[in-house]
Amino acid sequence: MNNAALAAADAPTPRKQPRDARRVQLMEATIEVIARQGYSRTTLTEVAREAGLSHGLVNFHFQSKENLLVETLLYLAEEYRLNWTGALDAAGDDPAACIHAVLTADFNAEIYTPSRLSAWCAFWGEAQSRPIYQERCSGNDDAYIRTLEGLCARMIAEHGYSGNAERIARVLRVTVEGVWLDMMTISTPYNRDEALATVMTSCTAFFPRHFTEAGLILR
């Protein structure tokens, strides 16, 4: 048996995957099913079929549809948090570069996908998920808001801009959220470049010496 065949023989099959990997596989399948069928029509049977696993394994890992949906929401929320905090950590200390990193992180290929956008919109629109989100994930949102407000305050203090940092940060945040919703609700969605240009236009309105519609002005 050659090396490739040996590696293939040793590779875990779907039924041999570690518990955490199996859970991720099922949550990823849930995202796809929600995107295709909507929140209320998502079933454990459909998730199992999407994942290529048995209905019994879904029950084993999550016990109920409600638990599966909650865990999938928390999985998406943590993915989102790690995405923007990672981008911020890599941006350095310049507040304009940090704002650019935080806002453009929402359009990274890993999270800015039709399935994930659809799943987020489904969760946002489902009343029963909101208390769970507020209880378990509101700290993530608060950290994002405080970070963006702090960066806008630094732009005002360090670069001579005027305005209310809290309000500017809110406009930038709701612009990103609005673009995400646009991509799922309008009949002819625009592409990622246009989405980014829309967000950068908001930055340009408040910080014109540091941003254009094309993005951050490099110095």
Residues 56 and 88 in one domain: no
Residue 208 in any domain: the answer is yes
Residues 157 and 186 in one domain: yes
Q: Total structural domains in the chain?
A: 2
Instruction: Enter the tokens of residue 120.
Output: 């987020």
Q: Across 5-19, 24-38, 116-130, which has the greatest mean pLDDT?
A: 24-38
Residues 105 and 184 in one domain: yes
* Rounded Cα gap, residues 49 and 59, in angstroms: 13
Residue 70 in any domain: the answer is no
State the residue range of the domain holding 172: 76-216
CB contact at 8 A, 36 and 44: no
The pairs formed by 31-36 with CB atoms below 8 angstroms and a separation of 24 or more are: 31/72, 31/76, 31/115, 31/116, 31/119, 32/115, 34/72, 34/118, 34/119, 34/122, 34/123, 35/114, 35/115, 35/116, 35/118, 35/119, 35/122
How much is the pLDDT for 79?
96
Instruction: Enter the tokens of residue 180.
Output: 């995400």
pLDDT at 150 over 80: yes
pLDDT at 203 over 90: yes
Residue 25 in any domain: the answer is yes
pLDDT at 23 over 70: yes
Residues 47 and 110 in one domain: no
CB contact at 8 A, 148 and 196: no
Report DSSP letters for 28-50, one per residue.
HHHHHHHHHH-STT--HHHHHHH
How much is the pLDDT for 130?
76
Residue 119 in any domain: the answer is yes
How much is the pLDDT for 16?
45
Q: What is the mean pLDDT of residues 170-177?
A: 96
* Rounded Cα gap, residues 210 and 217, in angstroms: 5
Going by pLDDT thresholds of 50, 70 and 90, the confidence category of residue 48 is: very high
Instruction: Output the domain CATH number for residue 176.
Output: 1.10.357.10
C-alpha separations of 24 from 19, 53, 58 in Å: 9, 13, 11
Q: What is the mean pLDDT of residues 176-197?
A: 90
Name the average pLDDT for the chain. 89
Domain boundary among 63, 85, 111: 63
Residue 12 in any domain: the answer is yes
pLDDT digits (tens, 9 = 90+) for 95-133: 999 999 999 999 999 999 999 999 998 888 887 777 887
Residue 114 in any domain: the answer is yes
pLDDT digits (tens, 9 = 90+) for 54-93: 988 898 999 999 999 999 999 999 999 999 999 999 999 9
* Rounded Cα gap, residues 178 and 29, in angstroms: 26
Q: What one-character DSSP code corresponds to residue 16?
A: G
Going by pLDDT thresholds of 50, 70 and 90, the confidence category of residue 18 is: low
Closest Cα to residue 62, out of 53, 52, 72?
A: 72
Residue 69 in any domain: the answer is no
How much is the pLDDT for 17?
52
Residues 128 and 40 in one domain: no
Residues 109 and 10 in one domain: no
How much is the pLDDT for 99?
98
Instruction: Output the domain CATH number for residue 11.
Output: 1.10.10.60
- CA quadruple 17, 22, 24, 27: dihedral sign: positive
**Virtual torsion, Cα 30, 194, 90, 217, nearest 10 deg:** -170
